[in-house]
Structures are given as structure tokens and as C-alpha cells.
Structure 1
Amino acid sequence: MAGALPDGEPVPSDGSLPDEATQQVGKNGFAVYVHVPFCASRCGYCDFNTYTPGELGGGASREEYADAVLSELALAARVIEPAAVDTVFVGGGTPTLLAADDLARILDGIDRTWGLAPGAEVTTEANPESVDKKYLSDLRRRGFTRISLGMQSAAENVLRVLDRKHTAGRAPQAALEAREAGFEHVNLDLIYGTPGETADDFAKSLETVIGAGVDHVSAYALIVEDGTRMAARMRRGELPFPEDDVAADRYLAAEEALTGAGFEWYEVSNWAKNNARCRHNELYWTGADWWGLGPGAHSHVGGVRWWNVKHPAAYAKRLAAGESPGHGRELLTGEDRHMEDVMLRVRLRDGIPLDRVNRAGAARALADGLLDPAAYRDGRLALTLRGRLLADAVVRDVL
């Protein structure tokens, strides 16, 4: 389970927002995120707001969860009226621990409430072992267009260190089943830099995702968060801490293999082919509005960000009483929004206009070989490959 939420300002019991926040809602796009906080077991590196059956306690259940989410959606409908929903993303946790019909009911509720835009992207995350052919076919038939499978690695020894429950062969098989079910886009997630992972292990993972025929790959360096089982094992000396040089080598290997297979990077940790970018994430990265449904979910509308209570039982109790499940909120200043815009857009292949950043810092980054000179001449800040390895440092310079 994740750490404590910040307090922020109180959220009104009806969830209402300032008029200035709602007047132009969705002008840069509008998305809906649905958080499903259930997992069959906890991975050693995970600090997300998720709960195994033994951690859940009383007052919450998977069987009643969709009804609670639909209650929050009814409250949201009284607060904002976007023109349409451009993307929906169901994340977790393991969303596919819910019945396919429950996920479909939530999607139908979003469509009835605000309307899905023509060609809307609808994604669910899934663990490879949590889906089968029938489940995938049911989701596709009910309107899901994209699936993101948590593969993490093709090496059995790495999966064991990460406490993943699927076999190495299950993820590519699930990807094949998703394509056969008619999903328009299929993503496989990788984690690199796990203790004990060799260069050959990661090369095997890259070979596997390329051979799986997917059109999107995400690859993230392992981050060890305080409070996780993996962090405790490292403190006890059972596992070595991740090494930055190893992570850089893995990233370069990913870039070489994926580019060679026809993928193009479009965000530092994401590659796609055939225009299969994740549109939902692009909305986040480019300043759109979104409503986050579910316990612990974060939302942003018109410069107001808020977050829901964490535990599913507290979430359901608030909604049953007709109250917003919001725990706290903050009104972002112009400086806050600028800082976040730079932090996110610098990581994109398309970059950010130079007039949005500190020019002296950008000039230093250019001189250090971190920025594309051609883009710079065109008035854009865009990272080179070396710049992608040092993206956080570039952000600090140009802020």
C-alpha cells in the first residue's frame, strides 16, 4: 500500500469546483481514469494503492466495487460537463480481477454520463495470468480498444525477484490472444535493472516483446520505494541496490532493439509503431483535464487537483452517504502549472517550445549534447539519445 496522502485543502462534500475551473473543462482534451485497487498478491517492488484479499479488511469487496465507482461518476456528472470523453484508462492494481461485465458497466456508465468521443481510446491494464481468451473477447466486444499487459521480464529468475506470478511465456501468449480478440492496440510493459538481471536476460525480454507482435512497449527502470518488501530486502543485504550505469546500459539496449524493430520513441520510456501512441498518457503529458474515479485516484480540472481517500471501504462509505470521496485538493498556481508542463513535455519526442523554458539552461544543455541542434534552430527543445538518459537533469536546467 502507498504512503499517506497529503492533506491539502478540504474537498466540498458535494465535490464542487470553482467556476473558473469548470468553465473551460476539456478545452485541451478530457480523459477518465478508473482505479481498481485489487491484487491477488503483492509484488515486492509495488507501493501503489492496492490491496490483496488479506489487506482489504471489511467494508469493501470486488463484487460491489463497480457500483461504488458508478456512484462517484454520478457525483462527477453534477460537477462538470465536458464535451466528450477522449480516452478512458482503467488501471490498478489488477483491473482484470473484476468481472468483465463490471468493467463494461463502468465504461457504459462513462458513455451514458458524458459520452465517448468518436474513436475514443479505451484501455485496461492486466496481469498476463488474469485474462483468458473469453475474458479478452468480452472486453473487446463491450468497447475496450487497447490493453496494457504487465510482462516486466521474459526471464524466470527476474520474475521471481519481482514476485510476479505469471510464467515467462504467459505475457506474449496473452498479447497474442488480445490481438486475436480484436484489440486495436496491445502494449507490453518491461522493468529493467532488477537485481540479478543480466544483459542477456534483458536482451531476451526485448526479443520476446518484439516477437509478440505488439505495437507499443513501455520500459521503466526499477525504482525501489521505501516501505516495500524489496526495499527491506535490500536494507538487509539480501539483494543489491540498482545501479545507474546498469540502467543506462539497459535503456540503450532497449532503444537499439526497439528502433531496429520499427518502433519509435515518443516519450522517454515509451515506444510505438504504426501510430499506436497511448493517447490517454499523451493527454496527461500535454495539460488536459481528467477525472480519476476510485480510491486514491487523482483528478485535475482547470488547475484544481484533488485526490480521493485511499481505502476502498472509506471510499464506498463516503459515496453511500452521498458525499464526495475526495480527501484533499490544491489549486495550482501559474508557476506550478508551468513547472509541471516543462517536466512532462521535455520528456516527449516533440519537445517543448524554447520560449517556454529558461534559455540559458537550454543553451547549456545544447552545448552538452543533450538537445537536438536542428530542433533548437527551429525554436524547439527536443532531447537527443544522451539527453533522454539525463532527462531529469535537463528539466532542472531549463526550469
Structure 2
Amino acid sequence: MTEEVRLKTLSIDELEIGMFVTTVMLKHSKTKVKNQGRVNSQSTIMSLKKQGVTQVIIKLESDKEQNKNLTAKEEKLSTAESVILPCSLNEEFSRSCEIYDDSNKKIQDLFDQAKSQKNLSPQAISLLASEITNSVIRNQYAITILTRIRHHSTYQWEHATNCAILVCGFALFLGLNKETAEKMTLGALLHDIGVAKIPKGIIEKPDKLTVNEMDIVKKHLAWGHQLCKKDGFNDPIIMDMLINHHERLDGSGYPRGLKKEKLSKLARITAIIDVYDAVTGDKAYKKGQQPINALRYLLAEKGKFDQQLVQRFIKYLGVHPVGSLVKLSNDKIAIVVEGNRADPLKPKVKIFYSLKLQNYINSKDCDLSLVTITIVGSARAEDYNINIAKVIHDIANKA
């Protein structure tokens, strides 16, 4: 007979070392955050207090159960380390910038390892996937804004990082659990690792590729599969994303020309996000397009992409994704910093440029759902000599 689980609600001041926490509750909020972990130090309790936890739900255990469970082997992580609490954009922004920069560096190292036939680093890249996932959970917009910083010279690792962030956010938006979202994040970080073995002359060629050159490009999937399998990245989720992200519903993709009945939901999601980020990214030979144009392309290619998922992806991103520049009805330019799924045309923005003055102005936060100012269209940074990377990093510095 299964023993009944007994729970008790305590104030944070009543929490003691050795207790097993199942749920935490935040200050000034009815939100309950599910978490399971044992309190194994006083610093854990102090950390929870600092994060705004006022109450916890604990599992009542007998002395025998506590002694059995409090083993060094099982208790590697404290409750504070496993709790992920939502926070504001300002609170997460600086931290997300560090994670984003670290990700690009680690992906660059990964590409260098692949080129030189060295073993990949499973532990480092798995930890990175976890950090990205935790950042998205803490605030879904902070790290996503950074996907709009594009440099053609670092496209390959930025593409991997951006896809990981977008895949993670979209997975959580679709209701998938944290464990699955984290595996998908890892798969996205690795999905193009085989590209490291494609000659640079082909990658950066401005003209249409020859048949032979295209055949070499297509080999990046097999090369990526070999690299990942050799170094222990053989989870089915990772392999599906890596091998099938260039397949299309109508069978026009590669490497096997699979049609929709043989393509998983996971492969369809990866294909959409891979194309979206590739279309919006700057390459050595081509400027990236505006997000709205990339979304229109996905909608237009009904035979190639799962339209139900495309619609959900647009709902997740918003008409004007965070990090996008928009023209406002008051002759100002702003950057979108938080979406508004209830009313996608009225996100939160930061106004920083005057069209009349043709110059930067003191930045100002503006929630378009609370004012009469409206978005009249998208803005291209290069049309106004705006350094979008500087604008975004200024936001981080002021956070």
C-alpha cells in the first residue's frame, strides 16, 4: 500500500535545515513555484529569502525517512540551486548578456574543436544549455532580445546560440516541460556543428552554389551526426534536430527528402526556427531581413513548413519580436523590450531616437498598451546609422 504524502505550509522563517521543500511562494504574489529539494544549509534559507520567498510547502517525513534521504550522494544540489524564480527584465538582463556572450565563445570553441578533429566538450555545452533554459524561465524576454544583435563575422556561433534561445522559449510556450526544453536547447546548440567542416570559401560564397558545392554543404548533417555520436551527444532529441532540420513537409528538403508523415513535431519546430534565424541574420555576403519578412516567408511556404506551428511561433514571438526596432506615431524610434500576447501591436518599448532630430535622445520606457502612441512600421538600423548592439548593451548597463 502506497504511503500517503503529507504536506505542510510554513513561513520562510520556520524553514529548517533537513526539511524537504516541494513548493515555494513569492512575496506579493499568489504564484506557487513547483520545486523539490532538501534544505541542506542555512545559506539555502537565506538565498530563498533574498529571492522573495515568503512561504514554502514541505513534505512531512519521519526521522527514518530523513536519515535515509540526507545522504551525500543524493544531496548534490541545495534547494536554492534548483529553484528558478521569475524575475523582471531589468533583473535578468545583465545576467543574460553574460550567458549570451559565454555561449558564443563556447560555440566558437566547439567549432574549432570540430575543425581540428578534437573531442567536443559535453559537460560544458550541457551546462550552457541549462543556463540558457534557466534564463528563459526567469524572464522570457531578456536573453531573447540579444538574438537581434547580428555580426556577419560571427554568424555561425550566433546562429547556434540564437536557435537555442528561440527553441527553448518556444518549447516552454508550447507547454513542454523544463527537461525536454533543456534537451531541445542542447540540440539547437549542436544542430549545425557539422558546418564547421565545410570550407570557408563555400560558406561565404556570394554567388549561387554549384551542384558539387551544394553536395558538400549537405554533408554537414552527416558530419554533425558523426561528431555528436562520437562524443556522447546521442540523445534521440538531439539526433532528430540535427539530422532533420533541413527536411521539408513536401519532400523538397535534405538529406533524405522525407515528407510530412515521417517528420516529427520536433523536426518541424527546428526547421522553422533555423530558417527564421538564418533569414534575419547578417552573413558575409548578405544583410539579414527584418523579422516581419522572415515570418511572412514562413507563412508563404505552406508546403514546406507546418503552418499550425508557424502560427504558434508568431504568437510566441509577436508581430514585432523583442529586439526589433519600430517607428512610432510620435516620430520616434524605439526598441521592443517586452511582448504583449494579449495585444501584439502594443508591446513595451524603449524610445531612444528622434526622427525629427535624426539623432539619439535620452531613452525612455513606454508601455504602448497604456498610451495613444502606436507603431507605424518597422525600422532598419542601417537606415539611421543606429548601432543596435550598442542600444541593446546600453539597456543592459542601465538595468
Task: Report the TM-score, using the length of structure 2 for normalisation.
Answer: 0.27
Would you tell me which structure has more strand in proportion to its own residues?
Answer: 1
Larger-Rg structure: 2
Would you tell me which structure has more helix in proportion to its own residues?
Answer: 2
Q: Larger relative CO (CA 8 A, sep 6+): 1 or 2? A: 1
Task: Report the TM-score, using the length of structure 1 for normalisation.
Answer: 0.27
